[in-house]
Amino acid sequence: MLEYHIKNDNSNRLVHQNEQLALEESEILSNKFRYLNQEKRTDLTNLATYAIDDEGSEEIDDALSIEERTSTKIIWIHIANPTSIVSLEGYISKSAESRGSSIYLIDNTISMFPKNLIKNILSLDSSKIVPALSVGVEISNLGEIQRQIITLSWIKLKYKLTYQEADELIDYAPKEEKDLEKINAELTRRRNYRNSNGAFSYNNDRGKIYLKNGLPDIKILENNTARIMVSEGMITFGSVIADYGYINKVPLPYRSQYTANYNKSNIDHYYKSSISEILSIQSLPKTIVSVVPRPHLGLGLKRYVQATSPLRRYLDFIVHYQVISSLFSENNIIDNDSLKDIINFNTRKNISNTNITRENELYWRNIFFSKVYKGIFKVYYLKTLSSKDLLYLFYFKVLENSVPLVLRKKISLNLGQELIVHFLYINEEDNPVFEINKI
């Protein structure tokens, strides 16, 4: 069985050496704390602010709130603001650039920033007033953004909730806690507006492998109302930041996507099946990251940047740096050519990070098949990966995920066809081999 390995170099250290930690911490303490001055930040600590994430999440980098004015409502999306503390040319930033992003393994997390600094300084801590980059939007009845605000801010979390807890607050909407229900109503209009512009909305639950008593098990992440609401808030933040960059000619790593290339009759045929969205996702073209702003048709937007995970993605960190530098009319904005170099390096690094993640998932998924769950599975055929090797891609209902597998015998299959299969063994190529029980 495959064993996964992680190269032990400066870009992928599992353990930070003491001297590195000392250097990183001393840089934080000696930094001038860029833009932490009270007069440069909007005080939003009076708002009821909610951070919503999966249980056990340590990188709290986003939160939502609502401000009700006389004749309107402003939805606020707050994002952790590490660029106000971490200098671009310092050791921490350069180390984060070399990592590219945080890597989430089933049995470990390799953080882009040192974990102690995330926990103690950089994340949106619920116990104190913290700095953030905040976007405020007024959403029309049709879902259009008719007013937008970008500001550095001070915020203080009122609640740190799981998606399940937030979902219950939205559903029950107690008189004393109606803010989440109102935020959801506003962002639902925004989501409907994007859908009317051709956006693809993913509504399926998602399976995630986690360790329970040292063995892999499956946790289903329900795509509930709260998760959809938070996702829409993050997309809205990215859309506003992209528009700001475009209007003010600020170089940013824009993300674009052209129209999907798929057979609509196939999608319609399986519309009510478990795999209709999986088929649609398969048809989506790859996202392109470029300094040129182009439409992101999968999101139904004229332009878009990722900007809501500066603690986890280096390009998000760069977006914050660019926007804040522009807001304060600084002369240190990264130019287009330099940004292209950063994007190219980050793209290569993220390919490497993705390969590490896939290797890790394959390792634990094979243990799941061979040692934990040896029963039968309901699967749906998606595509053939190799006719010669009988390697196919199937969607596993119990996993809520697609998995490459080898069938013991060659068979003619139709798109979306349901099979009942049982596990046999892991072959020399580390692919699980299955036999068909029933067609």
Residue 56 lies in a domain: yes
In order of 95, 102, 119, 316, 331, the CA distances from 33 in angstroms are 19, 24, 17, 19, 18
Residue 2 lies in a domain: no
* Arithmetic mean of pLDDT over the chain: 87
Percent of the chain with pLDDT over 90: 62
Given 315, 344, 366, the domain boundary residue is: 366
Residue 56: its pLDDT value, please?
A: 76
Residue pair 378/397 in contact (Cβ under 8 Å)? The answer is: yes
Shared domain check, 192 and 145:
yes
pTM of the model: 0.90
Higher pLDDT, 175 or 183: 183
Radius of gyration of the chain (CA): 23
Shared domain check, 405 and 279:
no
- Residue numbers of the domain that contains 30: 18-366
Given 347, 366, 385, the domain boundary residue is: 366
Give the model's confidence band at 202: pLDDT under 50 very low, under 70 low, under 90 confident, else very high. confident
Residue 223 lies in a domain: yes
Residue 3 lies in a domain: no
Residue 10 lies in a domain: no
Pair type for strands 73-80 and 130-139: antiparallel
Residues 6+ apart with CB under 8 A from 246: 293, 303
Shared domain check, 404 and 278:
no
First vs last C-alpha separation in the chain: 29
Q: How far apart are CA 47 and CA 361, in angstroms?
A: 40
Given 340, 366, 392, the domain boundary residue is: 366
Shared domain check, 201 and 180:
yes
DSSP letter (8 states) at residue 187: H
Residue pair 154/131 in contact (Cβ under 8 Å)? The answer is: yes
Number of helices followed by number of strands (H, E) in the chain: 10, 18
Shared domain check, 421 and 323:
no
State yes or no: pLDDT of 10 exceeds 50.
no
Give the model's confidence band at 11: pLDDT under 50 very low, under 70 low, under 90 confident, else very high. very low
State yes or no: pLDDT of 419 exceeds 50.
yes
Tell me the per-residue pLDDT of 358-404, one tens digit each, with 9 for 90 and over: 999 999 999 999 988 878 899 999 999 999 999 999 999 888 889 99
Shared domain check, 255 and 230:
yes
Question: Computed from CA positions of residues 92, 97, 102, 103, in that sequence, does the dihedral angle turn out positive or negative?
Answer: negative
Residue pair 151/134 in contact (Cβ under 8 Å)? The answer is: yes
Residue pair 313/342 in contact (Cβ under 8 Å)? The answer is: no
Question: Computed from CA positions of residues 57, 115, 80, 160, in that sequence, does the dihedral angle turn out positive or negative?
Answer: positive
Give the model's confidence band at 280: pLDDT under 50 very low, under 70 low, under 90 confident, else very high. confident
Residue 158 lies in a domain: yes
Tell me the longest C-alpha to C-alpha distance in the chain: 70
Shared domain check, 216 and 271:
yes
State yes or no: pLDDT of 52 exceeds 50.
yes
Tell me the per-residue pLDDT of 311-355, one tens digit each, with 9 for 90 and over: 999 999 999 999 999 998 888 899 999 999 999 999 999 999 999
Shared domain check, 413 and 267:
no
Residue 187 lies in a domain: yes
CA dihedral 36, 335, 241, 285 (to 10 degrees): -140
CATH of the domain at 389: 2.40.50.320
Residue pair 323/81 in contact (Cβ under 8 Å)? The answer is: no
Shared domain check, 380 and 358:
no
Residue 7: its pLDDT value, please?
A: 40
**Domain count across the chain:** 2
Residue 1 lies in a domain: no
Token pair, residue 89, equals: 């040319």
Shared domain check, 341 and 277:
yes
Shared domain check, 382 and 339:
no
pLDDT, mean of residues 81-107: 91
State yes or no: pLDDT of 185 exceeds 80.
yes
Q: How far apart are CA 49 and CA 156, in angstroms?
A: 7
The separation between CA 94 and the C-alpha centre of its own chain, rounded to angstroms, equals 22
Shared domain check, 110 and 89:
yes
